[in-house]
Amino acid sequence: MTGGWQLVLFLHLLAMAFFVGGQLVVAAAVVPVEASQPEPERMRAIARRFGVGSAIALVVLLITGMAMASHLDLWDSATLQLKLGLVVLLIGLTIVHLNHPRAHVLQAAIFVISLVIVWLGVDLAV
Ligand code: HEM
């Protein structure tokens, strides 16, 4: 892999780490602390910043992912198409989640779909 494409893959994985790791930290640390010591104002501020960070990560994932798909000639791959379908579903559920921030079933669905997308990404790379 040439240095330039290694950088593109590096950015794809860095954005993926933020996107998925952020959800884990929110579930494992932020939500339990907020439940035991509620501070709605601070929780809203954290959620806003997390939302902006995740949106930036998603844009990086889309740009670097599309670049790699073209470079590796993968647009015909059924795995990539399934992955893209799930990315669209993920974006849709995230928009619904903005209007229903406390719906746990939505948060769980977004997390599980994120993991499936990571699995399909690894499947593409091996
Ligand atoms: C939430 C969004 C996404 C996540 C979490 C994600 C995650 C991943 C992961 C974990 C890999 C494995 C890389 C490796 O093991 O080396 C990967 C590879 C890849 N992703 Fe994504 N991805 C996302 C979005 C996209 C999008 C939107 C596209 C295309 C339009 C895309 C195209 C690719 C391609 C082509 C590879 C294979 C790279 C290679 O073979 O070296 N990804 N992705």
CB-based contacts of 59, cutoff 8 Å, min separation 6? none
Q: Are 61 and 19 in contact (CB under 8 A)?
A: yes
CA–CA distance, 112 with 66 (Å, rounded to integer): 23
pLDDT digits (tens, 9 = 90+) for 22-72: 999 999 999 999 999 999 999 999 999 999 999 999 999 999 999 999 999
* pLDDT over 80 at 1, yes or no: no
Total number of domains in the chain: 1
In this structure, the residue with its CA closest to atom 17 of ligand 1 is 121
Q: What is the pLDDT of residue 102?
A: 84
Helix axes 104-125, 3-25, angle to 10 degrees: 160
Ligand 1 pocket, CB under 6 A: 9, 12-13, 16, 19, 61-62, 65-66, 68-69, 72, 74, 84, 87, 114, 117-118, 121-122, 124-125
Among residues 4, 23, 16, 14, the alpha carbon closest in space to that of 68 is found at 4
Band (83; pLDDT cuts 50, 70, 90): very high
| Host domain of residue 11 | 3-125
